Amino acid sequence: MAKSTPEQPDLLTQAQQIVSSFNLSPDHVHRITGHFVRQMKDGLANNRVWQLPAYIKTLPTGTEQGEFLAVDLGGSNCRVCLVELHGDSTFSVIQSKHSVPPDLMVNTSHRPLFDFVAQKIAEFLASRPGRPDLSYKLGFTFSFTCEQTSLASGQLIHWDKGWDIPGAIGRDPCIMLQEAIDELGLPVLVTVLANDSVGTLLTRSYSSGPRTSTLAAVIFGTGTNAAYVEKLSNVRRLGTLANTEGIMVMNTEWGCLDDNMEVLPRTPFDDELDVVSTDPGSQMFEKRVSGLYLGELLRLAILRLVGTGGFNMRIEEKSPVFRRDGIDSSFLSELDIVGTDDIDGVVKLVQNTLSAENVSRDDAVAIQLLATSIARRAARLAGASLAALLIQSGRLEKSQLRFTHREIQQLPQSHTISHPPMGSVQRFWYSLGLLWRRFLSFVGIPQLGVKSPGIITSQHPLGLREVCPEEDIIDIGADGSLIEAHPTFQANMRGAMREVPEVGYAGEQRVRIALSKDGSGVGAALMAQAASQEENSSTR
């Protein structure tokens, strides 16, 4: 058992106290949603660093064709992709993936970064022998906050996700990349500027075909963001009139919503993480939700318990516990996959990941409790933000559901989780599938001919989804390691959505979330295709 004194609570009691600081009540979820809706409306009317127009006024139908280059820069990676759009809602992707050196992510000048990207494009083209005479149009997915002025241009407003290159602020990412490409003499023209969430939205719209009206896309990975389809008449920051017809895809940049900390939860660990970040006081929502930060929040919570002497285990000096950002957020997913039934498995995982010895069962349980609470809060915040997007979009008002409000009210409270807990066999196959996807990604093997990405939907005990007509479904694309790999992230996110009265059980049941792998890269290619089509039309 863990050591304790009359003055010092035992280990599990201390862990529970920390866990309680990460709890998010239904009322708090609702307040966050309401505040985010107000901020989204404000961003549509005024020039803010959120609610940025993407200058996309039509969505793909699945009939688009062509071969295009795409570069996806964000998180800590750079991907160079060659995307072939087949015209039947399917596509093929050949790609190379590279880790961006840390000294390029934090640098006074933008030149080293963009020279690095251009060099990777050159290497990618050189790996395709026999086609030296081809020229390419390239879509550039740049996953940082930009104020776009057209489909092909914009100005960098803000770095996040741990990046800091002051020399690039105020400059056009497309121009910076084109300059580096031209220095190498590559036959490549940068034609569009894309955002990861916008790209994922376009990819989902293309893959789902003309019969599905995709509303939005969400990213829950290294960072977090969302894009959605807004009525053009609501985008008053562009000077549009109230009776203007059409749509505009909006890049919400919701990672910076509530930077003033009016409604977001805060713990001492949040504050400590923010103070030492590259952008203190900024991206406060993202710092509570995205994969870049969840591992660090867990590390800080573990350090708190190390400081009280509560643990039985002995942690070596080289342990990642004592190194800033030493714990990866994948550790939280792995702890959840192992589950509470296999405590010996948790002990082994803690021992191997944290370089710890003599890990007791209480040590393992305490760390698992902390990880679960941090991931659950992130998911519930994600649910609050997605609820805000649904409300602002107006799509919840178009319901044709064939069941009564009384039926919804009578749903048992014990069924508030979208997916039942995994059994040991299910966890085994889930883990095996996850390892296989990681292997394919590591060796760079593309998934070809993707037509129907994996659909994640809520399963309610009364089967209400079965009586929801197809035209009433709210279709959303998704990408990112958290929503893909963390077993309970989406279930907790959906639970929070149901707690928002304007969404409720009925609204949550209408939401269909489809994983859109390679979404940002394929989306950039789709934008390049649209730009090419516009150019061809204008020259006729």
Least confident among 407-416, 437-446, 473-482, 485-494 = 407-416
What's the confidence (pLDDT) of residue 399? 52
Alpha helices (H) in 232-342, listed in sequence order: 268-275, 286-289, 291-307, 330-338
Least confident among 73-87, 365-379, 407-421 = 407-421
Domain 11-37+261-376 has CATH 3.40.367.20: yes
Confidence of residue 265 (pLDDT cuts 50, 70, 90): very high
List the structure tokens of 53: 């127009």
Residue 413 pLDDT greater than 60, yes or no? no
The per-residue pLDDT of the chain, averaged, comes to: 86
Residue 274 pLDDT greater than 60, yes or no? yes
What's the confidence (pLDDT) of residue 389? 98
Contact between 249 and 227 under an 8 Å Cβ cutoff? The reply is: yes
The strand pair at 511-515 and 474-479 is best described as parallel
pLDDT above 90 as % of the chain: 71
What's the confidence (pLDDT) of residue 215? 97
Residue 453 pLDDT greater than 50, yes or no? no
Long-range contacts of 40-43 (CB under 8 A, 24+ apart): 40/252, 40/257, 40/388, 40/389, 40/392, 41/392, 43/237, 43/252
What's the confidence (pLDDT) of residue 75? 77
Q: What does each C-alpha distance from 364 to 18, 269, 322, 422, 517 come to in angstroms?
A: 15, 20, 18, 20, 33
pLDDT in tens, 200-249: 999 999 999 888 889 999 999 999 999 999 999 999 999 988 788 999 99
| Closest-CA residue to 86 (of 195, 194, 197, 207) | 207
Bridge partners, 164 (sequence order) = 106
Q: Residue 95 in 3-state DSSP?
A: strand
Q: Stretch 404-408: mean pLDDT, rounded?
A: 37
What's the confidence (pLDDT) of residue 466? 44
Q: How far apart are CA 297 and CA 308, in angstroms?
A: 17
Residue 425 pLDDT greater than 60, yes or no? no
Task: Count Cβ atoms below 10 Å from residue 429 Cβ, excluding itself.
Answer: 10
Residues with Cβ within 8 Å of residue 357, at least 6 apart in sequence = 313, 314, 315, 316, 351
Question: String of b and e for 52-65 (b: at least 16 CB within 10 Å)?
Answer: bbbbbeebbebebe
Query: In which residue are the tokens 């239904």 written?
Result: 26
What's the confidence (pLDDT) of residue 440? 47
pLDDT in tens, 74-127: 878 999 999 999 999 999 999 999 999 999 999 999 999 999 999 999 999 998
Contact between 231 and 394 under an 8 Å Cβ cutoff? The reply is: yes
pLDDT in tens, 475-495: 999 999 999 999 999 999 999
Alpha helices (H) in 109-195, listed in sequence order: 111-126, 173-183
Least confident among 250-254, 389-393, 448-452 = 448-452
Q: Stretch 413-434: mean pLDDT, rounded?
A: 44
pLDDT higher at 131 or 276: 276
What's the confidence (pLDDT) of residue 450? 31
Confidence of residue 436 (pLDDT cuts 50, 70, 90): low
Residues with Cβ within 8 Å of residue 127, at least 6 apart in sequence = 96
pLDDT in tens, 153-167: 999 998 988 899 999
Contact between 495 and 26 under an 8 Å Cβ cutoff? The reply is: no
- ∠ Cα 294 381 510 (to 5°): 125
What's the confidence (pLDDT) of residue 209? 81
What's the confidence (pLDDT) of residue 406? 37
Task: Kindly state the helix (H) or strand (E) to which residue 229 belongs, with its residue range.
Answer: strand 224-231
Residue 47 pLDDT greater than 70, yes or no? yes
Bridge partners, 85 (sequence order) = 66, 91
| Closest-CA residue to 287 (of 259, 315, 314) | 259
Residues with Cβ within 8 Å of residue 36, at least 6 apart in sequence = 254, 257, 258, 384, 385, 388
pLDDT in tens, 313-350: 999 899 999 999 999 999 999 999 999 889 999 999 99
Task: Count Cβ atoms below 10 Å from residue 109 Cβ, excluding itself.
Answer: 13
pLDDT in tens, 500-511: 999 999 999 999
Most confident of the ranges 116-130, 198-212, 362-376, 426-440: 362-376
| Closest-CA residue to 248 (of 382, 148, 98) | 148
How many helices (H) and strands (E) in the chain? 18, 16
What's the confidence (pLDDT) of residue 459? 41
Q: How far apart are CA 54 and CA 191, in angstroms?
A: 14
Provide the angle, in degrees to the nearest 10, between the axes of the packed helices 11-21 and 291-307: 140
Can you give the pTM of this predicted structure?
Answer: 0.84
| Closest-CA residue to 201 (of 179, 237, 228, 162) | 228
Query: Domain-by-domain residue ranges, the chain?
Result: 11-37+261-376
